[in-house]
Amino acid sequence: MSTATLPATQTDAGSAIYVPSPEVIGAVLAPGERPPRPSALSASVTFGWRAMLKIKHVPEQLFDVTAFPLIMTLMFTYLFGGALADSPTEYLQFFLPGIMVTSVVMITMYTGVGLNTDIEKGVFDRFRSMPVWRPSALVGMIFGDVLRYILAATVILVVGLILGFRPGGGVMGVLAGIGLLVIYSFAFSWVWTFCGLVLRSEKSVMGVSMLVLFPLTFLSNVFVDPSTMDGWLQAFVAINPITHLVDGVRSVMAGAPDAMAIMLILAESVAFVAIFGTLTMMRYNRR
């Protein structure tokens, strides 16, 4: 007890050992003027930079957005190509925009999984005790994820072009299609940030996302023409937001934009951010 602490002089032995100096610490504590608070956008971009740094230090996390879409595209093109169309190449003209949507929308769930583990770490306490725009930590995180979505879409596009995908909309059509998909995915990510905050573990976030995403992506117009389905299933497919997204992306890439589908996509995106963004922030502030 009284002998538990070594006298200070003993700890100073050795030249490489750090010795705190009150003068030096005092000097860094007196930096003069405090800078003005950053804007909401600037704070979000800073958090986006954090996401970039994490990718730089842990590049393995890009596996999800490269290998997974690649396998999905190859697998389904050759599995269904012969049965549903005359050849894989022909099927690809119909299928590629759909599998691009499926893959990217599935990847959005990692936003929730990532947040669920990230928020447990002490650094989030620091972020939340700082006077910055509250949603910026999450918005920045999704900014980082948007980059992953673009990467995944690019991988699929390249694979598709190699396999013989020839979109009628040309370069502009394809870029517009990817743009719609990325906007939608940004909005859809807020569903998962909410799940990431509400659910207890990474595993449960994963489980819930799968439960939602599998029916949404498969019971849609991604793989087959809905006119071949039973009436009740057609009804579900028609109201499925993934169907609208695929319609929009497909039409834009084909060079014949479907205005109705594009309007729906944008309206649904706004709705996702409004509803799930608000729920997420309520939950985030309450923790």
Partner 1 sequence: MRRSDGTDLAIEAAGLVKTFGDTRALDGLDLRVPAGSVYGLLGPNGAGKTTAVRVLATLLRADGGQARVFGHDVLREADAVRGRVSLTGQFASVDEDLTGHENLVLLGRLLGYGKAAAGERSAQLLAAFGLTDAADRQVKKYSGGMRRRLDIAASILNTPELLFLDEPTTGLDPRSRNQVWEIIRSVVAHGTTVLLTTQYLDEADRLAGRVAVIDQGRVIAEGTPGELKASIGSGSVHLRLRDAAQREQAQKVLTDALDTVVAAEADPVALTARVTGNGNESAASEQASRALHALAEAGIVVDDFSFGQPSLDEVFLALTDRPTESTVDDPDAELEAIR
**Least distance (Å) between residue 196 CB and partner 1:** 13
- Distance (Å, whole) CA 84 – CA 260: 27
Q: Does 18 bind partner 1 (CB under 8 A)?
A: yes
Q: Which is nearer to partner 1, 32 or 231 (CB)?
A: 32
Q: Give the chain's end-to-end CA distance (angstroms, integer).
A: 39
Q: How far is residue 219's CA from residue 216's CA, in Å, rounded to a whole number?
A: 6
Q: 122 vs 48, 126, 203, 227, CA distance in Å?
A: 19, 7, 21, 52
Size of the site for partner 1 (CB under 8 A): 51
Distance CA 8, CA 121 (A): 33
- Shorter beta-carbon distance to partner 1: residue 29 or 162: 29
CB 104, min distance to partner 1, A: 24
CB nearer to partner 1: give 1 or 259.
1
Q: Is 59 in the site for partner 1 (CB under 8 A)?
A: no
CB nearer to partner 1: pick between 128 and 212: 128
Interface map 98-137 toward partner 1 (x if CB under 8 A): ----------------------xxxx-xxxxxxxx-----
Q: Around Cβ 205, how many Cβ atoms within 10 Å?
A: 25
Q: Looking at this protein, which amino acid is placed at residue 231?
A: G
The one among 17, 83, 239, 259 contacting partner 1 by CB under 8 A: 17
Q: Which is nearer to partner 1, 19 or 239 (CB)?
A: 19
CB count within 10 Å of CB 25 equals: 9
203 forms part of the interface with partner 1 (CB under 8 A): no
Site string for partner 1, 19-48 (x = CB under 8 A): xxxx-xxxxxxxx--xxxxx---xx--xx-
Please list, in sequence order, all residues whose beta carbon lies within 8 angstroms of the beta carbon of residue 109, skipping any fewer than 6 positions away.
192, 205, 206, 209, 210, 213
Under the phi-then-psi rule, with left for phi > 0, alpha for psi from -120 to 50, and beta for the rest, what region is 62? alpha
Verify binding: residue 15, partner 1, rule CB under 8 A: no
Is the Cβ of residue 16 or residue 162 nearer to partner 1 in the bound state? 16
CA–CA separation, 136 vs 87, rounded Å? 48
Q: Which residue lies nearer to partner 1 by CB, 63 or 126? A: 126
By the criterion CB under 8 A, which residues form the site for partner 1? 1-6, 8, 11, 17-22, 24-31, 34-38, 42-43, 46-47, 49-50, 53-54, 57-58, 120-123, 125-132, 286-287
